[in-house]
């Protein structure tokens, strides 16, 4: 059987996003709060048999790697700026 190739995640949590940017989680949080960095909140459905929870959005904030790359590109400075 062929071994599955590792898949790089597209969505990162705040800690992973901070590591990707070589910055702190506080910096990521400030970028999110300022509207500079959008977050992804995936929909969740709760167990209908037990009735526990409600349908809605996951509270966990995820960041798309593509948005991190776009932030990096927008933040580049050239000499003299």
- For the chain (81 residues), the mean pLDDT of every run of 10, in chain order, is 77 98 98 96 76 73 97 88 65
Q: Count Cα atoms within 13 angstroms, Cβ side, for 66.
A: 2
The confidence score (pLDDT) of residue 2 equals: 58
In a domain? residue 51: yes
pTM of the model: 0.76
In a domain? residue 78: no
In a domain? residue 66: yes
Range of the domain at 69: 11-73
Closest residue by Cα to residue 66 from 20, 5, 7, 15: 20
In a domain? residue 79: no
How many domains are there within the chain?
1
């Amino acid at each position: 059987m062929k071994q599955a190739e590792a898949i790089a995640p597209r969505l990162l949590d705040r800690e992973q996003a901070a590591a990707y940017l070589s910055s702190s989680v506080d910096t990521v949080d400030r970028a999110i709060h300022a509207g500079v960095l959008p977050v992804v909140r995936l929909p969740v459905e709760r167990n209908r048999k037990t009735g526990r929870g409600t349908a809605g959005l996951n509270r966990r904030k995820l960041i798309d790697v593509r948005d991190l790359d776009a932030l990096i590109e927008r933040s580049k400075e050239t000499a003299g700026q």
